[in-house]
Amino acid sequence: MERVGGNGPLAGIDSRTVLYGVFGDPVRHSKSPIMLNRAFREAGVNGVYAAFHVKPEELGDAVRGIRALGYRGVNVTLPHKVEVMKHIDEIDEGARLIGAVNTIVNENGVLTGYNTDGIGYVRSLIEETGITLAGRNILVVGAGGAARGIVYALAKHNPRSIWIANRTKERAVELADDFKSYGDIAGIGFDGISAIGRSVDLVVNTTLVGMAPNIGESPIETDWLTPEVMVSDIIYTPLKTELLKRAEAIGCRVHGGLGMFIYQGAYAFEYWTGLPAPVAAMRETVLHSMQP
């Protein structure tokens, strides 16, 4: 591990600097570069992280570039998270089950893919709220790619049950089926929510309903919520979604999505460097960049 002492954004870049980045299309909106460069500075790592606009037809070449140029690690974002799996050497068990990779580690030319989205979400939920997931009844709203990673990560914490509720019920049932060996997991339609409502301890919205600019929308009805339920949303623009506002008005504890972004990056940082991620500094940088 090469460490530097400088503090400025580009201080200490030299011929030993290790390179990192994010591949996406589009990618210019990504806050990963400011967050990870702050993390490197904070931890004294001699590394630099940049954003690469990689078109789908160039993904294979871009991945070969990781090996050729000796990048230590890369994050992969939309639309490449599934396709990139074809181009790397090893895939971690969780990423294989989820069917998507968002973090690549280059170990002497061998590229291994991980998925830190779901585990990042759960670490943020636990660290920010103190919730114990073991024995809880969890309602996951949505059955897309984000839900997959989150259901996988939640199931590892031994909840009593996970219901997956989706607008298209069949997708929820399919997702539940894929993970049935991991616990008591069932798929339902939105019309099934009120029937289970009373036993739910935690609601997690994994859809993008309510994300800016549609800030007045909630993915589900909230009239069944009671103050004992914790409500969590993976959206972080806005930091407090309509769903969370309604839940808060009922007296529920709420948890927003910014932490998921921070901790998926924190895991990537830890896989690449072996150091604990400076989470507070990372959060401060991202929050600062979001100020109007």
The residue from 81, 86, 169, 240 that is catalytic is: 81
Catalytic (active site) residue 31? no
For ligand ATR, which is the closer residue by CB, 146 or 203?
146
> Binding segment for ligand ATR among 46-54, 87-95, 111-119, 139-147 (CB under 6 A)?
139-147
Task: Quote the CA–CA distance of 22 and 233 in Å, as a whole number.
Answer: 24
Of 53, 171, 240, 245, the one binding ligand ATR (CB under 6 A) is 171
Q: 86 to each of 61, 89, 95, 189, how far by Cα in Å?
A: 12, 8, 13, 33
- Minimal distance, residue 189 CB to ligand ATR, in Å: 9
Maximum Cα–Cα distance across the chain: 62
Of 27, 39, 101, 143, the one binding ligand ATR (CB under 6 A) is 143
- Minimal distance, residue 147 CB to ligand ATR, in Å: 6
Q: Tokens at residue 221, please?
A: 């009805």
Residue nearest to ligand ATR (CB): 144
Q: Does 142 bind ligand ATR (CB under 6 A)?
A: yes
For ligand ATR, which is the closer residue by CB, 21 or 219?
219
Q: Does 209 bind ligand ATR (CB under 6 A)?
A: yes
Beta strands 230-233 and 253-255 are: parallel
# of chain residues touching ligand ATR (CB under 6 A): 15
- Minimal distance, residue 166 CB to ligand ATR, in Å: 5
- Omega cis (within 30) before 213: yes
Of 167, 240, 245, 253, the one binding ligand ATR (CB under 6 A) is 167
Q: Give the burial string for 93-127 (b: 16+ CB within 10 Å, else e).
A: ebbebbebbbbbbbeeeebbbbbbbbbbbbbbbbe
Q: Does 145 bind ligand ATR (CB under 6 A)?
A: yes
Q: 76 to each of 33, 80, 134, how far by Cα in Å?
A: 12, 6, 31
Q: Residue type at 203?
A: V
Q: Does 66 bind ligand ATR (CB under 6 A)?
A: no
Positions 179 through 208 that interact with ligand ATR (CB under 6 A): 206-208
Q: 104 to each of 19, 153, 241, 268, how far by Cα in Å?
A: 13, 19, 31, 8
How many helices (H) and strands (E) are present in the chain, helices listed first? 10, 12
Positions 113 through 132 that interact with ligand ATR (CB under 6 A): none
Q: Which residues are catalytic?
A: 81
Per CB under 6 A, residues contacting ligand ATR are: 142-147, 166-168, 171, 206-209, 219
